[in-house]
Amino acid sequence: MFCSGCGFNLAQGQAVCPQCGRPIAPPVPPIPNMQMQVATYAGRIRALSIVWFVYGGLSLLLGIMGMAFANAVFHGSLGPWSHRAWGPGPEFFGPQLIHLIWIWVVIRTGLALLAGWGLMQNTAWGRIVAIVAAFLSLLKIPFGTALAIWTLVTLMGYRNSTLYEQLGG
């Protein structure tokens, strides 16, 4: 510890600088309950990361089921229920549409799983990926919207970013 006036090297516990006579300011105490706040925040981040994993898995499962159904509709393999009332159009754009939707499902699922992994590991990029995934999930009513709002409330803001940095991210 050094004197703020003359820079003299002070011993621990001195109240006045022996060289210039300037009073020494007491050390700033640590923020009260900071460790408790960080521990509580770590639990919330862990729960959020688990929900992102579950959401990613359900998105993949429902995406596969939806793609199988769409493929059956476009190829007329639903048996007596396929009436094909829309005419010749789906043969032209059906497979391309299915591929485009499949790419979107894989990207959304990968982003959700990446967000879960990044939050579980408390990485700085995990927080950013989770925020991006939250914005992309806002229109997936009701579960995507709820998860997006929870993610944004938990991760955004100065206080939350400071707590997240304390976790080691």
Residue 167 phi, psi dihedral angles, 5° rounding: -75, -15
Task: Evaluate whether residue 130 is within a structural domain.
Answer: yes
Asked whether the bond before 26 is cis by omega within 30 degrees of 0, the reply is no
Residue 12 phi, psi dihedral angles, 5° rounding: -65, 135
Task: Evaluate whether residue 3 is within a structural domain.
Answer: no
Task: Evaluate whether residue 8 is within a structural domain.
Answer: no
Token duo for residue 111:
């982003």
Could you give the number of structural domains in the chain? 1
Task: Evaluate whether residue 117 is within a structural domain.
Answer: yes
Which structural domain range is residue 122 located in? 34-80+89-166
Task: Evaluate whether residue 112 is within a structural domain.
Answer: yes
Task: Evaluate whether residue 29 is within a structural domain.
Answer: no
Q: What is the pLDDT of residues 114-168, one digit of tens each?
A: 999 999 999 999 999 999 999 999 998 899 999 999 999 999 998 898 899 988 7
> What pTM did the predictor assign?
0.70
Report helix, strand or coil for 134. Answer: helix
CA 161 and chain centroid, separation: 12
Q: What is the pLDDT of residues 68-116, one digit of tens each?
A: 887 777 666 665 555 555 555 455 566 777 788 889 999 999 999 999 9
Place of tokens 């991210």: 169
